[in-house]
């Protein structure tokens, strides 16, 4: 299990999590004012499909596939109008194409029969869709302006641990820890800040602490 920095934060007298979270958010918001979801989409359905396709691959890879995909499939009915083998070929480059094609078709069928062809906003409805787990549901609901949780991906997990905001490994437990300290109005944007900071500064193997705007608030800093 990775080292826990919760106790280290106390040892270094950096303040309690609730005391540090405000400055952490403010500084990251200033440093990464352009932080947003990397996936490209033009509609709610395209957002949902993009996030489903992003499982086990990169956003860059998904963005290579979706322009042609979304030109061909414009509404839920379009995904059901072709043989599943054709949809599999169209999303092949995203990996796990058979499972994803099955999940997408199942989701589109449910959107049509239960939600009038619209993507639901409520988390409890989203997680009922085939192939939509909590992380996907959190991403979709947040991007639609109805954040009901906090997205936890690999960057959010790593930085939350390094900042001493959680000592947990399980994404659900990490999300609960973050929900206790992150103000609800920031639930949607906070993951974006951590993701972009993780990509630009807080590298998994070689974090650039000397360039970090929250170094003095981080118990994992290598400068002290």
135 labelled catalytic:
yes
Question: How far apart, in Å, are the Cα atoms of 127 and each of 22, 74, 207?
Answer: 30, 22, 34
Quick: pLDDT tens for 30-86: 999 999 999 999 999 999 999 999 999 999 999 999 999 999 999 999 999 999 999
Q: Choose the catalytic residue: 100, 135, 177, 186.
A: 135
Question: If pLDDT is split at 50, 70 and 90, which confidence band does 1 have?
Answer: very low
Pair of tokens at residue 205: 């193997």
Q: Is the pTM of this model over 0.85?
A: yes
Q: Choose the catalytic residue: 44, 59, 125, 153.
A: 153
Asked whether residue 171 carries a pLDDT value surpassing 90, the answer given is yes
User: What per-residue string of b and e applies to 49-76 under the rule 16 or more CB within 10 Å gives b?
Assistant: bbbbbbbeeebeebbebbeebbeebeeb
Asked whether residue 224 carries a pLDDT value surpassing 70, the answer given is no
72 labelled catalytic:
no
């Amino acid at each position: 299990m990775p080292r826990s920095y919760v106790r280290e934060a106390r040892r270094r007298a950096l303040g309690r999590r609730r005391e540090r979270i405000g400055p952490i958010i403010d500084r990251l918001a200033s440093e990464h004012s352009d932080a947003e979801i990397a996936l490209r989409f033009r509609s709610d359905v395209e957002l949902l499909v993009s996030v489903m396709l992003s499982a086990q691959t990169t956003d860059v890879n998904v963005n290579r596939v979706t322009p042609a995909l979304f030109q061909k499939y414009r509404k839920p009915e379009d995904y059901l109008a072709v043989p599943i083998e054709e949809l599999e070929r169209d999303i092949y480059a995203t990996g796990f194409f058979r499972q994803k094609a099955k999940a997408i078709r199942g989701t589109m069928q449910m959107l049509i029969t239960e939600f009038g062809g619209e993507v639901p906003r409520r988390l409890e409805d989203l997680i009922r869709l085939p192939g939509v787990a909590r992380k996907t549901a959190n991403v979709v609901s947040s991007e639609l302006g109805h954040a009901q949780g906090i997205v936890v991906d690999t960057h959010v997990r790593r930085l939350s641990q390094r900042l001493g905001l959680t000592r947990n490994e399980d994404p659900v437990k990490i999300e609960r820890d973050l929900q206790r300290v992150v103000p609800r109005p920031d639930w949607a944007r906070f993951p974006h800040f951590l993701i972009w900071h993780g990509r630009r500064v807080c590298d998994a193997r070689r974090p650039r602490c000397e360039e970090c705007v929250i170094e003095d608030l981080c118990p994992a800093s290598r400068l002290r």
